[in-house]
Amino acid sequence: MKNLISISIFLVCLINCSCQNRNNSINKNYQEHYIIPDSLYSFFPKESFGKNNFNLIFHSTNAKKNNLPYFKEEFAVTELVTIYKCNDKLKFDSLKNIYMGEHICQFLSGERNYFIIGSERDMLNLYDSLLLKKKYQIIDLKGFIINLHKILKEEPIFYDSTTTCGLRKQYKILVLKSGDKYILPDKYKYEWSILPNKIKHGYRSGVAYKDSEPYLIYWVVAW
């Protein structure tokens, strides 16, 4: 009987430690330094938001700083995406109001009045080169957001392969920061022939949410 109790206690401790390590891993990744300027994601959640009511549940990036050599073989974008679950409706509504007052432009994920920017390989998996050239010629910088297809593909609660960006329908996508300057380290600079001069380089960042769901999706893309 004592052995059984000891084993049960051990298993409970093991599960708790495992969950804690996973949360620490997510938080540690989020706190790392990026090659993207801080100003582009200054509106992302801070510690003051409260861990109990505002939980980080997803984190994806290829923007971590490193000193490794980089070989420019094809066009790539630098991305940062974090998703939070907000358990406090008043806080959730307050944040939405703030972002609505600061946004440059907005789209609905299920509409076709915007387009996406992504790495060359990912974009050519979605569209042929002729269609891409046509899309990029007719849409200006304000019409772009991040390509979420590859990032959210394994997250069925958020992913929809039928929308332009890959985010489920009825999500509002707000663009909070935008520009046409190259803001990354020089070693990553690459000019893709498919992109016209007006959008050869740039950056976009913002947030997406659905009124009926407690999630806030923060994103940054630079190229």
Each residue of 34-86: pLDDT tens digit? 999 999 999 998 755 556 788 999 999 999 998 888 888 999 999 999 999 99
Q: Residue 26 is encoded by which pair of tokens?
A: 């997510």
**Could you say which DSSP state residue 201 is in?**
S
pTM of structure: 0.84
pLDDT tens for 53-65 read 889 999 999 999 9
Report whether 218 contacts 95 (CB < 8 A). no
8 Å CB contact between 159 and 153:
yes
SS3 state at 166? coil
Higher pLDDT among residues 157 and 72, named by residue: 157
182 in Cβ contact with 188 (< 8 Å): no
- The domain locations on the chain are 1-31, 33-222
- Asked whether residue 13 carries a pLDDT value surpassing 90, the answer given is no
| Residue 30 pLDDT exceeds 80 | no
Q: Which ranges in the chain belong to alpha helices (H)?
A: 2-30, 89-102, 120-126, 129-138, 149-152
Q: What is the pLDDT, as a whole number, of residue 46? A: 75
Q: What percent of the chain has pLDDT over 70?
A: 83
**Cβ–Cβ under 8 Å, residues 177 and 204:** yes
Q: What digits encode the pLDDT tens for the residues 128-155?
A: 999 999 999 998 878 999 999 999 999 9
Instruction: Share the mean pLDDT of the chain.
Output: 86
